[in-house]
Chain A
């Protein structure tokens, strides 16, 4: 085996901080400590950088900088979007979303249903994880306050057609929020073409440190502020800006804009190599999600007759980091809600492993992974009462 000691294939959970981003932040822990709102040079110097960062985030999405609000994370962006819209449109009592959203969306809605009496429609997905757009259209009523549909699924990488969904929402006059935390920077998103009113993103999936996000709010969208206080972020999100991290997000978006072609091609090739390599030597293994509409960096494979936590711990011992939708890893007792919504058979739901790459993943790392995974699966299958090699 080669010399590799650590292979990080869990980039949908979080990413390493890119060296360029880290360098861009450093001055703001040093001499550039001013408050961007202040009326003196200390502040003014810093305000320039906050403005530039906002422009870079806006550029990546092809929107206007004053439509970008900085937040503390993707979860805050989702909460801001949802609760802000419901508060500003309090006469409407119905919500539409999907069964496969991230908990940052799904649990907010389940809370609102339980505690505030909202009617929430959770759209089903097919076995491949796709939505039925006719069903979506029918679910939208004059009483619907907001529609939340994620752009890309964090577990399977499945992409929802948010351009078509945006058009349907517009036609029905419903505010459309998309959680694009996994999509931003991995696939091009042009909000001049995609008609969403709100879009959540998170820095640490884009190679910033954890703790910064943004919410895009289309001009004219009826939404209440999330944090009330000073006039920062045009009064939509009060609180003195987290300047080093705002700068980091700006830099990360700039890098993403330059690298998105790379991510779409080089990373996709590596992902496909990994996926095809594993499926060709490991029988009784299945791709979870629709391989046709997928993030370029993600593959989620279900291995029959073995359990995910055991796989992950063996991989970890070999230096490979991946994640699983199996019950045991999440601390719950059932496989992930995404796999269950797709009616993934139990024979491989518990044995599902997600590998997620980044622009820093190398071919050498993929080759190493291809050597390590098959014997791990084999070893676990040899002790499994459910494994039948002749099936």
Chain B
């Protein structure tokens, strides 16, 4: 069992400020069902004074996710936007008397929902993750978030990155990328890679045969399928049909399997681009 503080258990058992605010003017939503936790934060901000007059939340997640959301709403109520923007995930954890290391991502989720809600109030568009920047397909974590957490918390191992961002905690396919980012952040230049001793034509042939002999049979086994549309350098364009097409987690995993297989068989640098 997790070693939760009294305060975490209190906020979990009697969460404060649960629910929606019907006329909220700042709403932030992060996480998803597939990821296993999600938080929707509602703020009522006085446009004249810039004060947060009310804060409520809805959450799907474990005890520390619920407690983090409850704590966050308690913290921000009555704050000015400037003050609220200075809240860090560590502040949320500290408010609760600490969180287990493996659960720090719950406090990060709180911080992100707050950022999103304030951006929503200000009418800023929250930038969508570009597919190309997403490092961890299992939990949809982009490179910027990983770098940010590494710097803010002086993280040095993949495990720590997982505790703060969840990246790497699923299939593990992104661990080499996390290692690279850690190395880069530590100032160690990534080892210069050998340029692939492969012509374009060879690469296209290898991609085609890998898809036909390795990937397609695997997907068809599960009721899915893959169609190769184009190869442009290391960018491989495909159409994917998964067994459960509507499910973002399964899609991400599928995407990842295809990419990792091609990377292993053909070229480390290959990126899969899905054509709808």
Q: Which residues of A contact B (CB under 8 A)?
A: 124, 305-310, 313-314, 317, 326-329, 331-335, 343, 345-347, 350, 382-386
B247 contacts the other chain (Cβ, under 8 Å)?
Answer: yes
The minimal Cβ–Cβ distance linking A121 to chain B, given in whole angstroms, is: 12
Q: Which residues of the other chain, B, contact A334 by a CB distance below 8 angstroms?
A: 36, 138, 169-170
Q: Which residues of the other chain, B, contact A317 by a CB distance below 8 angstroms?
A: 13
Q: Which residues of the other chain, B, contact A327 by a CB distance below 8 angstroms?
A: 36
Q: Which residues of the other chain, A, contact B78 by a CB distance below 8 angstroms?
A: none
- Asked whether A386 lies within 8 Å of B60 as measured between CB atoms, the reply is yes
Q: Which residues of B contact A (CB under 8 A)?
A: 2, 9, 12-13, 15, 18-19, 29, 33-34, 36-40, 57-63, 65-66, 102, 138-139, 162, 166, 169-170, 221-222, 243-244, 247, 249-250
- Asked whether B37 lies within 8 Å of A383 as measured between CB atoms, the reply is no
- Asked whether A386 lies within 8 Å of B61 as measured between CB atoms, the reply is no
The minimal Cβ–Cβ distance linking B254 to chain A, given in whole angstroms, is: 12
- Asked whether B12 lies within 8 Å of A385 as measured between CB atoms, the reply is no
The A interface, classified by DSSP as helix, strand, loop or mixed, is loop
- Asked whether B169 lies within 8 Å of A333 as measured between CB atoms, the reply is yes
- Asked whether A385 lies within 8 Å of B138 as measured between CB atoms, the reply is no
7 pairs from A and B in contact (CB 8 Å cutoff):
A124-B222, A327-B36, A328-B37, A333-B138, A343-B243, A343-B250, A383-B19
- Asked whether A383 lies within 8 Å of B244 as measured between CB atoms, the reply is no
Tell which of A124, A327, A383 has the most Cβ of chain B within 10 Å: A383
Q: Which residues of the other chain, B, contact A306 by a CB distance below 8 angstroms?
A: 60
Also in contact, A385 and B58, with CB within 8 A (given A317-B13, A333-B162): yes
- A385–B33 Cα distance when bound, in Å, is 10
- A335–B138 Cα distance when bound, in Å, is 12
- Asked whether B18 lies within 8 Å of A383 as measured between CB atoms, the reply is yes
CB within 8 Å: A-B pair count: 84
Q: Which residues of the other chain, A, contact B38 by a CB distance below 8 angstroms?
A: 385-386
> Nearest residue in A to B100 (C-beta to C-beta)?
A331
- Asked whether B40 lies within 8 Å of A343 as measured between CB atoms, the reply is no
A307 touches which one: B61, B102, B249, B250 (CB < 8 A)?
B61
- A302–B72 Cα distance when bound, in Å, is 29
- Asked whether A333 lies within 8 Å of B40 as measured between CB atoms, the reply is no
- Asked whether A345 lies within 8 Å of B247 as measured between CB atoms, the reply is yes
- Asked whether B29 lies within 8 Å of A346 as measured between CB atoms, the reply is no
- A332–B168 Cα distance when bound, in Å, is 10
- A306–B58 Cα distance when bound, in Å, is 12
The minimal Cβ–Cβ distance linking A335 to chain B, given in whole angstroms, is: 7
- Asked whether B58 lies within 8 Å of A383 as measured between CB atoms, the reply is yes
A350 touches which one: B33, B138, B247 (CB < 8 A)?
B33
- Asked whether A385 lies within 8 Å of B244 as measured between CB atoms, the reply is no
- Asked whether A343 lies within 8 Å of B18 as measured between CB atoms, the reply is no
- Asked whether A307 lies within 8 Å of B169 as measured between CB atoms, the reply is no
Q: Which residues of the other chain, B, contact A335 by a CB distance below 8 angstroms?
A: 36
B58 touches which one: A307, A332, A345, A384 (CB < 8 A)?
A384
Also in contact, A347 and B18, with CB within 8 A (given A306-B60, A310-B12, A386-B38): no
Q: Which residues of the other chain, B, contact A346 by a CB distance below 8 angstroms?
A: 33-34, 36, 247, 249-250
- Asked whether B18 lies within 8 Å of A385 as measured between CB atoms, the reply is no
3 A-B pairs with least C-beta separation: A333-B169, A328-B62, A309-B62
- Asked whether B60 lies within 8 Å of A385 as measured between CB atoms, the reply is yes
B60 touches which one: A124, A305, A314 (CB < 8 A)?
A305
- A326–B61 Cα distance when bound, in Å, is 10
> Nearest residue in B to A382 (C-beta to C-beta)?
B18
- Asked whether B36 lies within 8 Å of A386 as measured between CB atoms, the reply is no
Q: Which residues of the other chain, B, contact A350 by a CB distance below 8 angstroms?
A: 33, 36, 60
Q: Which residues of the other chain, B, contact A326 by a CB distance below 8 angstroms?
A: 36, 62
> Nearest residue in B to A347 (C-beta to C-beta)?
B33
> Nearest residue in A to B18 (C-beta to C-beta)?
A383
- A313–B4 Cα distance when bound, in Å, is 11
Q: Which residues of the other chain, A, contact B102 by a CB distance below 8 angstroms?
A: 331
- A310–B13 Cα distance when bound, in Å, is 9
- A329–B62 Cα distance when bound, in Å, is 8
> Nearest residue in B to A309 (C-beta to C-beta)?
B62
- A339–B24 Cα distance when bound, in Å, is 38
The minimal Cβ–Cβ distance linking A354 to chain B, given in whole angstroms, is: 16
- A130–B139 Cα distance when bound, in Å, is 28
- A349–B19 Cα distance when bound, in Å, is 24
- Asked whether B247 lies within 8 Å of A384 as measured between CB atoms, the reply is no
- Asked whether A313 lies within 8 Å of B221 as measured between CB atoms, the reply is no
Q: Which residues of the other chain, B, contact A384 by a CB distance below 8 angstroms?
A: 58-60
Also in contact, A332 and B19, with CB within 8 A (given A307-B61, A307-B62): no
Also in contact, A385 and B59, with CB within 8 A (given A331-B102, A345-B247): yes
Also in contact, A333 and B166, with CB within 8 A (given A383-B66, A386-B33): yes
